[in-house]
Structure 1
Amino acid sequence: MNRVIRSRAANPKWIEGVKRHGYKGAFEMAATVDFLFAFDATTELIDDHQYALLADAYLLDPATRDFIAQHNPDALRDMTERMLEAQQRGLWQEPGEYQQALEDLLLDIEEN
């Protein structure tokens, strides 16, 4: 699973490739987060650092976050909520600084 996340989901080349598709590209990123969450909920095989990789790549990278916000703001909110839900359910067990960063992002999304 780590190979799939690094080679596809968190790969900057893949991310830049899906960005060419605008709304659909942002949707693909959101679907990836949903798939990761669902896989972890059923198998408990996703490590904390794998959640962190996707949070860094999609939500905390300013350029990618701005792309998603512009092309599919619902996807940005959904991804942020899903990452926080993973923390609340104990799937992402030790989010550390990510919890506050994602909570701040969600507040910012809801204010706009």
Structure 2
Amino acid sequence: MIMKKIPFIAIVSVVLMLLAGIVTFSNQREVMATVNRIEKIENVTSSEGNTTTKVYYLLFTSGGTMRISINGFLSHPELLGRIKVDSTYTFRTMGLELPFAGFYPNVVSVK
């Protein structure tokens, strides 16, 4: 019985990894936008005595909402010191925008 579930679990795992890759690395674009607000987001989760905090920043701009990660593969914390509210920049972003799921394009460079 367990041997029959292993191929199913493997297929589901591969599909989920592909979807995560598509959401993260697709839709590369450049957007010229004015920054209206920068908000620090702290998500704290706790499970079985382990507490994890994920911190990132959301940029609310005239071109939509974008995310700056401060850790992980697409992290660019150095960009935070260069971005000022009420200023216009050209953002290069990567990733899909699915606000209902909490996904926003990641900022990878600023000009």
> TM-score, normalization: structure 1?
0.22
Higher strand share: 2
Higher helix share: 1
Structure showing greater Rg: 2
